[in-house]
Structure 1
Amino acid sequence: MRILVTRPQPDADQLATVLVARGHEVIVEPLMTIDYDAGAKISVEGAQAILITSANGARALAAATPDRGVPLFCVGAVSAAQAAADGFSTISNASGDTNDLAQLVADRCRADGGHLIHIAGSVVAGDLAGQLTALGFTVDREVLYEAKPRDALSDPTKQAIADDLELAVTLFSPRTAKTFIGLIEKAELKGACTSLDLLCLSQAVADAVSGLSCRAVKVADRPTTDAMLALI
């Protein structure tokens, strides 16, 4: 199968490696560029735990503090693996989405046990801080990076769509999905998407592409990379 990988780098290349090893043809087309705040430094003193909702957050945290002993609560396997690769030693994995992460934190932390720090980008999905604040926790949000959308599709991707080639498109967030539709419209390819299978991490992602006429929209049964791979 031919697969369009839309994740930011370096996650795009990591996913592409897995797909190629499984015998798929891959077009790497990151729809977001991650711009880290290179000079950012944060203090984790007094923090009960740090909340990580993406691999980008783990990378940003590693650059912003030398402390590797603070407990981390990660949304899923990819962010947990990145945190481990960056040297953090106490990692809990929610294996799901921000709702699962909020539940894990609520189960294992105390509202009066110290503040929580959420490492985030300039745009966040879900309301992790709101959920935990409603349970009595204090959550400080540290914005350490920005995900900037691409302004055009590459020529190979436009050609693959224009040639009506069967193509599966991986979409890991509503924002990425909306960016994809915007770039399709900009390239005047909206009418050429009938051979596309859209592989969506969640129903929220699928809802974001509801206006695009394509061959199929498939939704992972869990918001994880493994569940996305199971759609292929």
Structure 2
Amino acid sequence: MHILLTRPLEDCSEMIIKFQSLGHKVSHLPLLSIKKILHEKINLSEFKGIIFTSSNAVRFLNLNGLDKNIKCFCVGNATEKEARGQGFSNTIAAEGNVLNLKELILQNFDKTEGKLIYVSGENISVDLDNQLQNEGYDIKRLINYETVHNEKFDDDFINRLKLDMPDMVYVYSQNSASSLLKFIKLNQLEGLWMSTNLMCIGEKTSAKLNEIKWKKIFLFNPGEEEFLLYKI
């Protein structure tokens, strides 16, 4: 099976190796680049809990002054793995869904315990901090990275892709979906995806690619990628 992965290499290198070890052909089309944002200085010792909605948020955070034993809420297993690699020991992970993450926070962090800090990228699909504020939590959002659309791609890669279109393509965000649609139109690939299964996180992501004719569209949560191989 030919699989196309679209995340930055640091976010999908393990998956590439895993799929290749299972005998699949893997192509990599990084639609987005991640860049660190210099943010205001914050006294991290003031906070009693921390929230991460991506691995990048963990990677780009200066952890000086932060107690790594505090409750650490992660959106999914990959983010939790990154947090544990950075020394966090008291982690709680949702199943790749921000709304599930909110419920975990409500269940495991009483608003009287103290302040929360929510570390994220510039663009988010759910305003988790505002929702928690509405529940009475004292929470600060810290933006420490931005997502940039890649616009230049290797011509040889595009020509190889035209000759061997993937059986599956994984898309992880609305930003990625917009970038993929732009890539498809720019390279006149609109009519080549009818044998390709589109795997998207959420309906809003898949909706951005509805004008392309796909074999089938599947919705999934992070961590289910390998399981989806056996559904088609």
TM (norm. structure 1) is 0.90
Aligned residues: 228
Q: Is residue 65 of structure 1 aligned with residue 64 of structure 2?
A: yes
Separation of aligned partners in 2, 1:87 and 1:55: 14
Report what 2:86 is aligned to: 86
What's the counterpart of residue 229 of structure 1?
226
8 Å contact 1:12–1:30 — kept in the other structure? no
Q: Which runs of 5+ in 1 are unaligned?
A: none
Closer/same/farther in 2, CA of residues 209 and 150 from structure 1, 3 Å limit? same
Cα deviations by residue, 1:20-43 (Å, 9 ceiling, x for unpaired): 111111112211111113687532
Alignment partners' CA distance in 2, 1:212 and 1:43: 48
Aligned partners of 1:49, 1:125: CA distance in 2, in Å? 21
Deviation of 1:188 after TM superposition, in Å, equals 1.8
Alpha-carbon distance in 2 for matches of 1:90, 1:106: 16
CA distance in 1, matches of 2:132, 2:40: 25
Distance 1:184 1:50, change over 3 A: same
Q: Distance in 2 between matches of 1:167 and 1:156?
A: 20
CA-to-aligned-CA distance 1:163-204 (integer Å, 9 cap, x gap): 253431111112111111111111122122223221112223
Deviations 1:183-232 (A, max 9, x none): 11111221222232211122232222112112221222xx222x122112
The C-alpha deviation readout for 1:60-81, integer Å capped at 9, x for no partner, is 22x3435323321001100000
Q: CA deviation at 1:151?
A: 0.6
The match for 2:28 is 28
**Scaled by the length of structure 2, what TM-score is found?**
0.90
Letter matched to residue 227 of structure 2: A
In structure 1, the residue matched to 2:132 is 132
Mapped pair 1:102 → 2:98? no
CA contact (8 A) 2:48 2:113 kept: yes
Q: Please, which runs of 5 or more residues in structure 2 have no aligned partner?
A: none
Change (3 A) 1:46 1:171: same
Q: How do residues 111-126 of structure 1 correspond to structure 2 at under 5 angstroms?
A: 111-126=111-126
Query: Residues 152-167 of structure 1: matches in 2 within 5 Å?
Result: 152-163=152-163, 165-167=165-167
What is the alpha-carbon distance in structure 2 between the residues aligned to residue 65 and residue 190 of structure 1? 48
Check 1:113–1:66 CA distance in 2 against 1; reply closer, same or farther (3 A cut). Answer: closer
* Pairs within 5 Å for 1:26-65: 26-37=26-37, 41-61=41-61, 63-65=62-64
Structure 1 residue aligned with 2:150: 150
1:156–1:6 Cα change, 3 Å: farther
Q: Secondary structure at the match of 1:133?
A: helix
